[in-house]
Amino acid sequence: MNIPPAVDQITRRDERAAVATLSAAFADYVLLTALCPDPERRRRVAWTYSRLLFRMAAIEGGAFATADRAAVVCALPPRHEWPTPWAFFCCGAVSLGVHLRPRAALQMIRIGVAFDEARERHLGARPHWYVHLLGVRPGAQGRGLARAVLAPVFAAADRSGVPVYLETMPEANVPIYQKLGFALVGLRELPGGLPNHELVREPAPDGGAGVTG
């Protein structure tokens, strides 16, 4: 019997280790390679991008990681799932924009607007958990760590009777999320021609009783 790895709720004190994992996982992600083709500069972009989304989740109590920080999820809980421009500013959006440079930064803003439009179309005013970043350290993938770090998000969502939403660009990720209980609810082209697969996990009808994730 496989014992699920221990998962911690993490805070800003864990930022360096968490962001190291996330930035490594997203160093060659299609969104960042499209916005920043230069690999050397993209490492800095991946760090500031990951740090921004980690901080936003940690502030709202939605950051979780395995004990060794090999897997990290950054999620925004109900009532905090629609961050304000001020929240982006306070968590480091300006630094990300500087590293992206003006043209790519503007494109990132357009893509962010498209993300929000897609999420609103699927969920409207329904409270939900929004998983805006999930990363597993290269070399630690394929061990069920994504499922493990998502478990506390799923448990909280089930207790509250709310869905969980995420988006992903690579089509190869879709069946992985479907195995975790997500349904593909949309596919659209983002500004710049990037694909966006939109997925929702509805809450367990029994409030998650007996469900471990």
pLDDT band at 54 (very low <50, low <70, confident <90, very high): very high
Reported as a pLDDT band with limits 50, 70 and 90, residue 1 is: low
Pairing of strands 71-76, 129-136: antiparallel
Cα three-residue angle 167-72-119, rounded to 5 degrees: 20
Query: In the prediction, which pLDDT does 210 show?
Result: 46
Distance CA 70, CA 90 (A): 26
pLDDT in tens, 155-211: 999 999 999 999 999 999 999 999 999 999 999 999 999 999 999 999 998 776 544
- Domains, the chain, with CATH or none: 7-201 (3.40.630.30)
Q: What is the pTM of this model?
A: 0.94
- pLDDT, tens digit, for every residue of 148-159? 999 999 999 999
